[in-house]
Amino acid sequence: EVAIAIATSLMWGAESALRFTGDFSSSQFQDVVRPSMMPPNAPSGLSGQFSMDHLYLVKLLSKLKPMLANLNHSLMTQHQQFTKAFEATYEAHKFVCGKFVGINSQSLRMNSSSKKSAVDVLNDLKFLRLKNLKN
């Protein structure tokens, strides 16, 4: 119970950080934030997937599916709260991406020939990862 409460708080924290990023002006984002996510300030093709914390979270989510299938009924409310925070975090990320990159533009790590927008990719990832959270 404590672990899921902490995880939920962390997800709401991530959602808030992304939402507040949306408060930057377009020029601040393009002149300061986006360059900080590109070489030489960051590796080419920067992605949260390269962060140890993010990698751990993604791996953990895939391991949760069998455990959630047998989730104790007393944890259902906490599970729903975590799922809501998880979904909100993806929506905040999509909002920031759509606002500053454009709803039809590609992310920093996408191949220029890709037909999918960064927002579409985030939506696909959200859907796939939410499947691991469903019980």
124 CB-contact burial (10 Å; exposed 0-12 / middle 13-18 / buried 19+): exposed
Q: Write down the pLDDT at residue 50.
A: 65
Rounded CA-CA distance 19/119 in Å is 15
Distances (CA, A) of 125 to 42, 58, 60, 66, 120: 23, 10, 15, 19, 9
- Output 2 or 38, whichever has higher pLDDT: 2
Both tokens of 6, joined, read 């902490």
pLDDT tens per residue across span 64-107: 888 888 889 999 999 999 999 999 999 999 999 999 988 888 77
Backbone phi, psi, residue 25, to 5°: -75, 160
Average model confidence (pLDDT) for the chain? Answer: 87
